[in-house]
Amino acid sequence: MVSRDRRITVVARSVRLVPVLLASALAATACGGGVHGTPGGSGVRDPYFPKAGNGGYDVTHYGLRLAYDPGAHHLTGTATLTARATQDLSAFDLDFLGMEVEKVTVGREAARWNRAGQELTVRPHDDIDRDETFRVTVRYSGAPETVTDPDGSREGWLRTADGALALGEPTGSMAWFPGNHHPSDKAAYDLTVTVPRGLRAVSNGELRGERTERGRTTFVWHCGEPMAGYLATLAIGRFDVGRSAAGDLPMYTAVDPAEAAASRPVLKRIPEVLRWAERRFGPYPFSSTGAIVDRAAEVGYALETQTRPVFPGAPDLTLLVHEFAHQWYGDSVTPESWRDMWLNEGFATYAEWLWEEDHGGRSAQETFDALYSGAHFDTEEAGEEIWEFPPADPPSAARISDPPVYWRGAMVLHKVRQAVGDDRFFSILKGWAAKYRYGNAGTADFTAFAERQAPGADLRPVWDEWLYGDGKPERV
């Protein structure tokens, strides 16, 4: 997407006003046939994270070669991104936080770069033409940082007792590799990670290789289906590894030995959860599955990292269902922007209700009623929290994962179900996952999709009162 924000104006103006810069810009492109490109934007206008992502190009593949030494807390990396220019580019940004950049090349030529906050601005030797596919390589090293989110939670690169854990929702992946770190730009990944012998490195997708040489072990991971950067993970440490299958799917689990005994009974149920989810949501979208259970002191949350969710300790079955439901809703169908979080969390929460309904527990209607009355919660305050803002419009970045997004987001889906009936509703759940498989979709896409699937139903009040409306809706 071509995005014009203040930063571009500043760059453009300084090029016009400062002759030295102009001269060097011309010199840099002299053999490339003149200046025709403009800088890509430093963000994609996300309403909550305006600097996340970058304009002017689309990444199709990340090739990451990393080496980490937990003792020294030192990471070295070479990131090779393959991208397609969506405009003529004289410069473009990558999101990258901390670390030290040693060298940047675009194609075969060394490129100039500079850094400001999370923006690594790359000025290639030659301008890049619109629609051209180009390769940018960034060599870097240093001590990767832990990031504090607007809501106070911790992500990015997290140290563990025996290694590290990389988590990226919403913006932490820029702490360990440079990229276009916004959910709207999805790409395939190949990740090669070298760690001291005795430790393992576990990531998304399939393990393609493992070799030990001179005291270090290298793991090669491949994730072929498009993945948003925030869903990339890397766990380094000692793990009990389980290799098995869920139906035809290869399954790889890596569990902190201290959590192994408690995790075993629930992880054994992954194949059953996937079978159920396929019946409800349609075909599983990825080529492998599994889980990572790892303890980082600062992390108390699970994350739906693609193909292989991360749990901060032995999960319970409900949390397992939640993170696996995200594989359809969030990972395969990914929000267009962080405003659309309810498409992730409302769906994953509703999946919990459906699991319960399908396994002899409360019906989704009963769960809905208990939420509406407040009986679901221990305290009155907790019951009131879910009405604080409409799920489709969190008031700030600090609140994109607050209770209204989860609970009331799920209630929106239940209201859709009431309005269209079970048959239509379940075909909407499946159809949504099918239509936007491997892509991105926003809230307006969902409302339009649901309306098209249920032409006779009046969904307006659901959107107006439950999805976009302030306060607790009148019961309808």
- Residue 259's binding partner, choosing from Zn ion, ligand TRP, none, with beta-carbon cut-off 5 to 8 A by kind? none
Q: Which of 28, 81, 296, 302 lies at the binding interface for ligand TRP (CB under 6 A)?
A: 302
Residues 342-381, one symbol each (x = binds ligand TRP by CB under 6 A, - = not), give: ---x------------------------------------
Q: Which residues pair with 69 in a beta bridge?
A: 74
Q: Identify the helix (H) or strand (E) that includes residue 231.
A: none
- Residue 356's binding partner, choosing from ligand TRP, Zn ion, none, with beta-carbon cut-off 5 to 8 A by kind? none
3-state SS, residue 201: strand
Q: Which of 46, 95, 323, 445 lies at the binding interface for ligand TRP (CB under 6 A)?
A: 323
Stretch that binds ligand TRP, among 264-272, 298-306, 379-387, 458-466 (CB under 6 A): 298-306
d(CA 394, CA 122): 33
Give 195 or 302: the residue with its C-beta nearer to ligand TRP: 302
Give 57 or 281: the residue with its C-beta nearer to ligand TRP: 281
d(CA 318, CA 57): 39
Contact set for ligand TRP, span 388-417 (CB under 6 A):
400-401
Q: How far is the CB of 355 from Zn ion (least distance, A)?
A: 14
Stretch that binds ligand TRP, among 30-38, 179-187, 302-310, 446-454 (CB under 6 A): 302-310
3-state SS, residue 395: coil
Residue type, 166: A
Q: How far is the CB of 230 from ligand TRP (least distance, A)?
A: 8
Q: Which of 79, 97, 292, 303 lies at the binding interface for ligand TRP (CB under 6 A)?
A: 303
Size of the site for Zn ion (CB under 5 A): 2
Give 126 or 345: the residue with its C-beta nearer to Zn ion: 345
Is 348 a residue that touches Zn ion (CB under 5 A)?
yes
Is 468 a residue that touches ligand TRP (CB under 6 A)?
no
Number of residues that make up the chain: 476
Cα 377–chain centre separation? 29
Q: Which residues pair with 105 in a beta bridge?
A: 110, 137
- Residue 170's binding partner, choosing from Zn ion, ligand TRP, none, with beta-carbon cut-off 5 to 8 A by kind? ligand TRP
147-to-153, 175, 327 alpha-carbon distances in Å: 8, 8, 24
Helices (DSSP H) in 171-296: which residue ranges? 257-267, 270-281
Q: How far is the CB of 407 from ligand TRP (least distance, A)?
A: 12
363 phi/psi in degrees, rounded to 5: -75, 160
Q: Which residues pair with 220 in a beta bridge?
A: 192, 209
Q: Contact at 8 Å (CB) between 370 and 386?
A: no
Q: Identify the helix (H) or strand (E) that includes residue 320.
A: helix 317-328
Burial class (CB in 10 A: 0-12, 13-18, 19+), 378: exposed
Give 15 or 400: the residue with its C-beta nearer to ligand TRP: 400
Is 304 a residue that touches ligand TRP (CB under 6 A)?
yes
- Residue 190's binding partner, choosing from Zn ion, ligand TRP, none, with beta-carbon cut-off 5 to 8 A by kind? none
Tokens 């969190």 sit at which residue?
394
Size of the site for ligand TRP (CB under 6 A): 13
Q: Which of 258, 301, 313, 437 lies at the binding interface for ligand TRP (CB under 6 A)?
A: 301
Q: Contact at 8 Å (CB) between 441 and 335?
A: yes
Q: How far is the CB of 354 from ligand TRP (least distance, A)?
A: 16
Q: Contact at 8 Å (CB) between 6 and 46?
A: no
Written as one string, the DSSP assignment of 354-391 is HHHHHTTS--HHHHHHHHHHSTTSSSHHHHHHTTSS-T
Is 169 a residue that touches ligand TRP (CB under 6 A)?
yes
Q: How far is the CB of 305 from Zn ion (least distance, A)?
A: 11
- Residue 145's binding partner, choosing from ligand TRP, Zn ion, none, with beta-carbon cut-off 5 to 8 A by kind? none
Give 411 or 459: the residue with its C-beta nearer to ligand TRP: 411
Is 41 a residue that touches ligand TRP (CB under 6 A)?
no
- Residue 181's binding partner, choosing from Zn ion, ligand TRP, none, with beta-carbon cut-off 5 to 8 A by kind? none
- Residue 433's binding partner, choosing from Zn ion, ligand TRP, none, with beta-carbon cut-off 5 to 8 A by kind? none
Q: Contact at 8 Å (CB) between 132 and 84?
A: yes
Q: What would the two tokens of residue 238 be?
A: 């000692």
Give 90 or 305: the residue with its C-beta nearer to ligand TRP: 305
d(CA 97, CA 118): 5
How far separated are the first and last CA of the chain, in Å rounded?
41
d(CA 211, CA 216): 8
Q: How far is the CB of 172 from ligand TRP (least distance, A)?
A: 9
d(CA 304, CA 163): 20
Residues 306-345, one symbol each (x = binds Zn ion by CB under 5 A, - = not), give: ---------------------------------------x
User: Which residue has the CB atom at the shortest distance from ligand TRP?
Assistant: 401
216 phi/psi in degrees, rounded to 5: -135, 145
Which residues would be at the binding site for ligand TRP (CB under 6 A)? 149, 153, 169-170, 301-304, 322-323, 345, 400-401
Binding site for Zn ion (CB under 5 A): 345, 348
